[in-house]
Amino acid sequence: MNLVQVDSARLLAIVTDMLAEQGIVSRAEIAERMEITDRASPELGARMVAKAWREPEFRALMVADGSAAAESVGIRMRGLPPLGVLENRPGHHHVVVCTLCSCYPRAVLGYPPFWFKSTAYRARTVRDPRGVLAEWGTALPADTKVTVVDSTADYRWMVLPTRPEGTQDWSEEDLAALVREGDMIGVTVPRGPAISC
């Protein structure tokens, strides 16, 4: 019998016991980490973005030290790669890709979307970011600087998008609801409120 044929639950139990016996990681620590990973979703990142839009001090912290900003709103970052935050401004847009694999700020955005891991997205974004953005329906002014960030090593990167027009008096909750996963990767930008007449 080889490893592939072993009952996976039994194999997991054996490996888990060995890790615990050798003092590498306890069952409780593994369970805690699994729970945190499963619970993480783009809603966490969206909350940080909304808070940054409303509070200049939080924005400054987030841009300077994403991990500290995440911790300050109750997201556990201990033992995780540092979170870097790329600040979009009018005239400067960022888009994140991991050409080597699928490095992703899971603590604040959850599991990466399937397309983020595709070879097409990875190969094309570094070469033709404007073409990729256009396919997402993201129209940037021609003079907007587009910076591609290839996430290759120990940091995990998220984009802090620009706040849409017409949201001056919005609550943090309402602002957070505007922010989508793609806005924090940089393939899209948050849509402002629909103008009704």
Partner 1 sequence: MSLPPGTPVRVKDDWPEARGPVHIRTPHYVRGRRGEVVRHLGDFPNPEDLAFARPAPERALYHVAFRPTDLFPDATGDDLVIEIFEHWLEVGA
Selected binder of partner 1 within 28, 120, 142, 153 (CB under 8 A): 153
The residue among 64, 55, 103 whose CA lies nearest residue 87 is 64
**In the chain, helix, strand, coil percent, each to 5?**
50, 10, 40
Mask 83-112, x = binds partner 1 (CB under 8 A)? -x--------------xx------------
Is 103 assigned a catalytic role? yes
Residue 125 beta carbon to partner 1: minimum distance, rounded to whole angstroms: 9
Residue 146 is which amino acid?
V
Residue 76 beta carbon to partner 1: minimum distance, rounded to whole angstroms: 20
CA pair distance 155, 83, nearest whole angstrom: 6
Is 101 assigned a catalytic role? yes
Strand, coil or helix: what is 61?
Answer: helix
Sites for partner 1 among residues 22-81 (CB under 8 A): none
Give the residue with the Cβ less far from partner 1, 83 or 175.
83
Contact 80, 107 (CB under 8 A): yes
Give the residue with the Cβ less far from partner 1, 51 or 188.
188
Contact 186, 86 (CB under 8 A): yes
Buried b (16+ CB within 10 A) or exposed e, 103-125: bbbbbbbbebbeebeeeebbeeb
- From the candidates 26, 41, 72, 102, give the one annotated as an active-site residue: 102
- From the candidates 26, 101, 118, 171, give the one annotated as an active-site residue: 101
Give the residue with the Cβ less far from partner 1, 36 or 126.
126
Does 120 sit near partner 1 (CB under 8 A)?
Answer: no
Does 18 sit near partner 1 (CB under 8 A)?
Answer: no
Stretch that binds partner 1, among 11-19, 48-56, 145-153, 188-196 (CB under 8 A): 145-153
CA pair distance 91, 190, nearest whole angstrom: 15
Footprint of partner 1 (CB under 8 A): 82, 84, 99-100, 126-131, 145-155
Catalytic residues: 98, 101-103
